[in-house]
Amino acid sequence: MKATAKYANKKVLVLGLARSGVAAAKLLHQLGAFVTVNDMKKLDENPEAQELLASGMTVITGSHPIDLLDDGFSLIVKNPGIPYTNPILEKAIEKNIPIVTEVEVAYDVSEANFIGITGTNGKTTTTTMIAELLNSQRKDGKAKLAGNIGFPTSDVVLEATDKDSLVTELSSFQLMGVENFRPKIAVITNLFEAHLDYHGSREEYVKAKWNIQNNMTSEDYLILNGNQDELRKLAKTSKAHVIFFSTQEVESQGAYLLDGTLYFKDEKIMEASELGVPGSHNVENALAAILVAKLSGVSNESIRETLMRFSGVPHRTEYIGEFFERKIYNDSKATNILAAEKALSGFDNARLVLIAGGLDRGNGFEELIPSILDLKGLVAIGETSDKLVAAAKEANVQTIKKAKDMNEAVEKAWGISDEKDVILLSPACASWDQYKNFEIRGEAFVDGIKQIVSREDK
């Protein structure tokens, strides 16, 4: 970690805890700041706040009192999930108090270079692919996962040296709170409409994502999805060295798919069919990761071997295994129709049994129909089950069932399936009607499969 006096003796408010807030508060305290922590959860229910209080920080819990700002803070480090419409943040903006996220603080003290990955879909898979590729031949240092992937950057920088790389997944929420942040390599996997309840409009959402390249120069590399005209237009406004990946066009200076083969420039890397994870979206993810690897000096053979072994990340078209000649995939992270469509593109509908459904946000599933045409089976769960059943009938799905919960859904999906089939959880919906988050929903799916396998083994 680099030494800096930037935060010494400065009054800093850390707004909202969770993992990133705790990490930021500890880092700022270590850097000599006078840290005040403010979290909505009450102190007696808040072990993180209790820990920070015991370490000498000022801790205020239970509400976000606006009069806190009378203390003369030089900076606010906010939890990414807290919107700027929060009254205390609106008042801070009026008072011209800078507001950042913990990524900015971590960047200020990092000895390691940053590789930043953002986008609507594919961030976590691409981030993980990149880290594995960079570590495949590395002799000095390590590519360390950081950011929105579950490792607060303010924690990771503590041990990172100038021989390491921080492969950092960045959400639009995090990128709204950066000022000096400058990755050596940045990736935008794709841009689709998302989080409009937070950003207010697509334009503001895209603006937040585009912040990743604000401070980049011609010495830095910006990797963009060439399949999207929007990103090609935005590329013209960046000072970074832009390189495209595409599954639709030959990118002579980038990475591309041609006749089922993945290329970097004119170099053949591997067959798309050799990728350890299925789906057209994972071809795009792999192309982006290949570009980062090639810019970092990784050999073609090492790239191929690593991507052949790559089996995905939890809950994102994660290959669970083959049981009784049925292949099982957990794609619980598919919380919208687009994500489910991408997962479905990697399978043969005639041999696929899909479990889908969840929170009803008022939309129909007409867009999903082309992706589930002639599907072998669909089991619908959650608030959207009736809508999914209607779409399945229109798509001529061979067998359609409803289930009250994931355990029943897995049983029914198994009953529909035969040897050589695939059972896929790809809900196309958020989980909050039945599960606290998509991870718990995915775990319920995997547990259901394990129960059946244990029973069938007897």
Q: How far apart are CA 254 and CA 2, in angstroms?
A: 34
The number of beta carbons lying within 10 Å of the beta carbon of residue 411 is: 15
Tell me the domain boundaries of the chain.
Answer: 11-100, 103-309, 318-457
pLDDT in tens, 296-346: 999 999 999 999 999 888 888 888 999 999 999 999 999 999 889 988 988
Rounded to an integer, the average pLDDT of 24-28 is: 97
pLDDT above 70 as % of the chain = 100
- Give the confidence band of 207 by pLDDT, cuts at 50, 70, 90: very high
* C-beta separation of 273 from 109 below 8 A: no
Q: How far apart are CA 117 and CA 185, in angstroms?
A: 9
DSSP 313: B
Task: Please give the radius of gyration of the chain, using alpha carbons only, rounded to the nearest integer.
Answer: 23
Q: At how many degrees (to 10) do helices 123-135 and 300-309 cross?
A: 130
pLDDT above 90 as % of the chain = 90
pLDDT of res. 458: 65
CATH annotation of 318-457: 3.90.190.20
Comparing CA positions, the residue from 21, 220, 2, 18 lying closest to residue 103 is: 21
Residue 193 has pLDDT above 70, yes or no: yes
Q: How far apart are CA 308 and CA 195, in angstroms?
A: 33
Q: Which amino acid is at 331?
A: D
Residue 337 CB partners (closer than 8 Å, separation 6+): 363, 365, 367, 368, 428
The number of beta carbons lying within 10 Å of the beta carbon of residue 259 is: 7
Mean pLDDT of the chain: 95
Token duo for residue 238: 């960046």
- Give the confidence band of 40 by pLDDT, cuts at 50, 70, 90: very high
Residue 394 has pLDDT above 80, yes or no: yes
11-100, CATH topology level: Rossmann fold (3.40.50)
- Give the confidence band of 195 by pLDDT, cuts at 50, 70, 90: confident
Rounded to an integer, the average pLDDT of 270-274 is: 96
For the full predicted model, state whether its pTM sits above 0.85.
no
Q: Which CATH superfamily is domain 103-309 in?
A: Mur-like, catalytic domain (3.40.1190.10)
pLDDT in tens, 54-63: 999 999 999 9
